[in-house]
A = this chain, B = another copy of it.
């Protein structure tokens, strides 16, 4: 069967935001420090920022704080959103807007366990596509600004 028609830009943006705000959303977080690293983590989307909760000594935390960048992938792989991000700030359980926002979207609360920090990641580029007929127009955000 042929794939469905490509979505128009506004639908694609709305679908992407819905995916980012989905309860219990998970995200593949790719980081690097020489070698590539990749783990699945809970995602919260708060005020146009991608927020993850990590232990400061984890490899993901160290790679991002040292290198400043992460690339995020949300699946399934034939309905993807890919986000290039830069580290905006590291914050903790006392940061109520972030901590409450994270707990509201995720199915767990990092404040229930000791030691977690939140990495607040600012998106620079967001791409979204389903089948190859959606590769044209896949860039929804460029240089931190929505283009649709």
Interface residues of A (CB under 8 A from B): 26-28, 30-32, 34-41, 63, 67, 69-73, 75-78, 80, 82
Contact = CB atoms under 8 A, between A and B. Distances in A.
A35 B36 contact: no
A73 B40 contact: yes
A83 to B, nearest CB: 10
A8 B125 CA distance: 41
A44 to B, nearest CB: 14
Contact of A40 (B31, B72, B80): B80
A57 B80 CA distance: 22
Contacts of A78: 26, 40
Report copies per complex: 2
B40 A75 contact: yes
Nearest to A38: B30
A73 B32 contact: no
A79 to B, nearest CB: 10
Contacts of A77: 26-28, 40-41, 75
A130 to B, nearest CB: 11
3 nearest A-B residue pairs (beta carbon):
A32-B32, A40-B77, A26-B77
Given A26-B78, A28-B28, A32-B32, A37 B73 contact: no
Contact of A70 (B27, B28, B36, B67): B36
Contacts of A76: 26, 75-76
A34 B66 CA distance: 12
